[in-house]
Structure 1
Amino acid sequence: AIPTTTRSTAAATVSPRGACRRTVTASASPRGDAEASSSSSTSPSSPPVHLRRRHALVALVAATVPPPSSPERASALPLAPLGEVKRVGGDKRTDLTAEKVRDQLERDLRDGQYFVTGNLTREIFADDCRFTDPTNDVVGLSRYLTALGLLFDPATSFVDLYDIKVTSPDTVEADWQLQGYLRFPWKPRVEPYTGHTVYSLDPESHLVRSQFQTWNISGAKAIAESFTPTTGPET
Structure 2
Amino acid sequence: MRSHLSPNQLLADQLEAAIQTLKQELPTLFEKDLSYDIYSSDIYFRDPINTFKGKFNYRIVFWTLRFHGRLFFTNLAFDLHDVYPVGDASIRADWTVRGTLRLPWKPDLLFNGYSLYQFNSEGLIYEHIDTWDRSPGEILKQFWPN
Matched position secondary structure for 2:98: strand
Contact 2:111 2:139 (8 Å CA) reproduced: no
> Of residues 123, 127, 139 in structure 1, which corresponds to 2:41?
127
**1:102/1:155 Cα in 2 relative to 1: closer, same or farther (>3 Å)?**
farther
Matched position secondary structure for 1:156: strand
> Of residues 186, 193, 197 in structure 1, which corresponds to 2:111?
193
Within 5 Å, which residues of 2 pair with 1:195-214? 195-202=113-120, 204-214=121-131
Within 5 Å, which residues of 2 pair with 1:1-235? 97-110=14-27, 113-114=28-29, 116-139=30-53, 140-153=57-70, 156-181=75-100, 186=103, 189=107, 191-202=109-120, 204-225=121-142, 228=143
Matched position secondary structure for 2:37: helix
Identity within the alignment, %? 19
The TM-score, its normalising length taken from structure 2, stands at 0.72
Matched position secondary structure for 2:62: helix
Q: Residue deviations 1:203-223, cap 9 Å, x none? A: x22111111111111122234
The answer to which of 211-220 and 147-156 deviates more is 147-156
In structure 2, what is the Cα distance between the partners aligned to 1:222 and 1:101?
30
Q: CA RMSD in A?
A: 2.9
The TM-score, its normalising length taken from structure 1, stands at 0.47
How many equivalent pairs are there? 129
Give 1 or 2 for the bigger CA radius of gyration. 1
**1:189/1:131 Cα in 2 relative to 1: closer, same or farther (>3 Å)?**
farther
Give the superposition deviation at 1:147: 2.4
Q: Residue deviations 1:115-136, cap 9 Å, x none? A: x235222111123322211122
Give the superposition deviation at 1:164: 0.8
In structure 2, what is the Cα distance between the partners aligned to 1:117 and 1:131?
21
Q: Please list every run of 5 or more consecutive structure 2 residues that lacks an aligned counterpart in the other structure.
A: 1-9
**1:100/1:163 Cα in 2 relative to 1: closer, same or farther (>3 Å)?**
same
* Aligned match of 2:7: none
Give the superposition deviation at 1:107: 0.9
* Aligned match of 2:4: none
Q: Residue deviations 1:25-54, cap 9 Å, x none? A: xxxxxxxxxxxxxxxxxxxxxxxxxxxxxx
